[in-house]
Amino acid sequence: MSDVPLPPYSIVAPPIVVQNQGEVILFDSIEDAQLWMEAIDVRNNEYEIFDSTGLRLGPNVVSGRIETVQISIHEPRSRDVDRLRGLLFDFVVRAGQTSRERASKMRVDDLLALIQKR
């Protein structure tokens, strides 16, 4: 699977959802997510990344004087709304933000809004 660098104004819809070992973190921009991520964790495949529409994104380590992380769109482009919803569902239930029954009726947008309130 290859990655395509993101153009400045792209099809990516914030928030950017980063899942790291069961924790879900939301970022307002690709740039914020890239700055937060660590190269060693990228190498260890510890991140799963989506935009708010389920578009799969992937991190890459950029070598230089200082290693940085760059997020790209995975090719072939794919949206996996079911996987994104599952990550968000598991997180809000485990964090005690809502009941399993209530979360099961929520859409991705609703789950994102609930997490943003934290």
- Tell me: pLDDT of 8 over 80: no
Average pLDDT over residues 91-117: 96
What gap in Å lies between CA 112 and CA 90, rounded to an integer?
12
pLDDT higher than threshold 50 for residue 12 = yes
Task: List the domain range (segments joined by +) for residue 46.
Answer: 2-116
- Residue 9's pLDDT is 41
First CA to last CA across the chain, in angstroms? 35
Averaged pLDDT for residues 15-25:
96
- Region 24-39 average pLDDT: 96
Enter the tokens of residue 60: 């890459």
Mean pLDDT of the chain, nearest integer? 91
Domain count, the chain: 1
**What is the per-residue pLDDT for 5?**
58
Cα 59 to Cα 41: distance, rounded to the nearest angstrom: 10
pTM: predicted TM-score of the whole model, two decimal places: 0.88
Listed as own residue / partner, the contacts of 101-107 with beta carbons closer than 8 Å and 24 or more positions apart are none
Q: What is the rounded CA–CA span in Å between residue 79 and residue 93?
A: 23
Tell me the torsion sign for CA atoms 9, 53, 57, 39: positive
pLDDT at position 1: 47
Mean pLDDT on 49-62: 95
